[in-house]
Amino acid sequence: MSKPVPTPPDHAASSAQHSIDQLQDRIRDLEQTAHDTGQNLDLALGPLREQLQELHSQKLPSRWERVQLARTAGRPTALDYAEWICTDFVELHGDRVYGDDQALIGGPAYWQGRRVMLLLQQKGRDTKDKIKRRFGSANPEGYRKAVRLMDLADKFGLPVVALIDTQGAYPGLEAEERGQGWAIAESIQRMSRLKVPAVCAVIGEGGSGGALAIGIGNRVLIMENAWYSVISPEGAASIIWKDASKAPTAAEALKLTAPDLLALGIVEEVIAEPAGGAHLNPQQAAHNLGQVVSRHLDELAQQSPEQWQQGRAERFRKLGAFEER
């Protein structure tokens, strides 16, 4: 199901990624041949593996560097992308129970001409805006609004496009009182029940359950310098070493980058960013995101409602690593 990222030749980071992908494929083929035929291909494999290591260590940013890129000031926010890619976005407000969360927003729009329901995790653009939006960490109202918008998406046959960018759901006292865990769980459940297709893209940070809440897509995509993990590097570092400054080490251990997640089968595709990161050429980043999401929406449009529901269930049902004994 996954397709290689289209890579312009002037694109340093992603052409390196491209070479790595090609090299990995060659190594895998050779290993398979060695396994199938019983031939010893170590002489051929050795240099290739060295070359791969070299590419990994020299050409690509480290995992921690990517985490920092995902947080860089000036990196496009979900709303930036929506404004550049979409037309006629009508933001709908409120969960009809308690309030209107500013960290998780959404509404119907045209995605390069296609009717969709947008769900956006919005971090904010300036300090005041960021505080208002709790830096993209939603309260339960945000997830309950998302559920309401998914109801509308089903009712009016709008495919869901979710742009994920959060360090996690807001860990506040009131959030707990109003059932943060319950709200996230309901959102996961509601999204899995959608009768329309859903395409999700992690555009910056994909922190834990707060990100997964709108991440139950038929296709889950990730931008080249975004991360997605069960816990933030800082959170993991505080648990493991009781020291948040060990976050770079934790980032390595968590295997949280786009290439890692592609290898694990957790995402279908990595969306290329402009050289040096999305913040250096936001328009190019928006162009890439717009095109890739549109392609997936068009592919999914060929399927039946049963395939959308079943495909999504099967996609998540098979994720995990274990062995039968």
Among 176, 243, 245, 298, binds another protein (CB under 8 A): 176
Residue 196 lies near another protein (rule: CB under 8 A): no
Whole-angstrom Cα distance, residue 10 to residue 31? 32
Q: Is 190 in the site for another protein (CB under 8 A)?
A: yes
Query: Least separation, in Å, of the C-beta of 207 and another protein?
Result: 10
Among 12, 97, 253, 301, binds another protein (CB under 8 A): 253
Integer angstrom CA distances of residue 297 from 115, 129, 201, 267, 290: 10, 31, 12, 15, 10
Stretch of 28-36, 45-53, 228-236, 291-299 lying at the interface with another protein (CB under 8 A): 228-236
Counting contacts by CB under 8 A, is residue 156 touching another protein? Answer: no
Run of H or E including 270: strand 269-271
How far apart are CB 71 and another protein at their closest, in Å? 18
- 98 alpha carbon, distance to own chain's centre: 28
Q: Please tell me whether residue 240 binds another protein under the rule CB under 8 A.
A: yes
Whole-number CA gyration radius for the chain: 20
Query: Is 291 in a helix, a strand, or coil?
Result: helix
Give the residue, chosen from 256, 262, 272, 293, that forms a contact with another protein under the rule CB under 8 A.
256
Strands of 179-267, DSSP E: 198-207, 219-223, 227-229
d(CA 181, CA 207): 14
| Inter-residue contact 205 to 163 (CB < 8 Å) | no
Q: Is 247 in the site for another protein (CB under 8 A)?
A: no
Selected range binding another protein among 18-26, 29-37, 39-47, 163-171, rule: CB under 8 A:
163-171
Task: Please answer whether residues 92 and 106 qualify as being in contact, where contact means their C-beta atoms are separated by less than 8 angstroms.
Answer: yes
User: Mask of contacts with another protein, 269-288, x by CB under 8 A?
Assistant: --------------------
Between CA 212 and CA 217 the distance in angstroms is 10
Determine, following the binding rule CB under 8 A, whether residue 179 of this chain makes contact with another protein.
yes
- Does position 242 interact with another protein (CB under 8 A)? The reply is no
Q: Is 145 in the site for another protein (CB under 8 A)?
A: no
Name which of residues 76 to 95 contact another protein (CB under 8 A).
Answer: none
b/e 171-199 (16+ beta carbons within 10 angstroms → b): eeeebeebebeebbebbbebbeebebbbb
According to the binding rule CB under 8 A, does residue 186 interact with another protein?
yes
Give the range of 30-38, 55-63, 119-127, 239-247 binding another protein by CB under 8 A.
239-247
List of residues 6+ apart from 251 with CB closer than 8 A: 62, 63, 64, 66, 67, 227, 233
Q: Of 34 and 231, which CB lies nearer to another protein in the complex structure?
A: 231
Among 94, 241, 245, 298, interactor with another protein by CB under 8 A: 241
- N-term to C-term CA, the chain: 29
Tokens standing for residue 30: 């050779």
Pick the binder of another protein from 25, 42, 50, 151 (CB under 8 A): 151
Cβ neighbourhood burial of 304 (10 Å; 0-12, 13-18, 19+)? exposed
Q: Considering the rule CB under 8 A, would residue 325 count as an interface residue with another protein?
A: yes
Q: Binding mask 5-44 vs another protein (x if CB under 8 A, - otherwise)?
A: ----------------------------------------
- In the complex, the residues that contact another protein under the rule CB under 8 A are 147, 150-151, 169-173, 175-182, 184-186, 188-190, 192-193, 208-209, 212-213, 215-216, 228-231, 235-236, 239-241, 250, 253-256, 260-261, 264, 266, 312-313, 316-317, 319-325
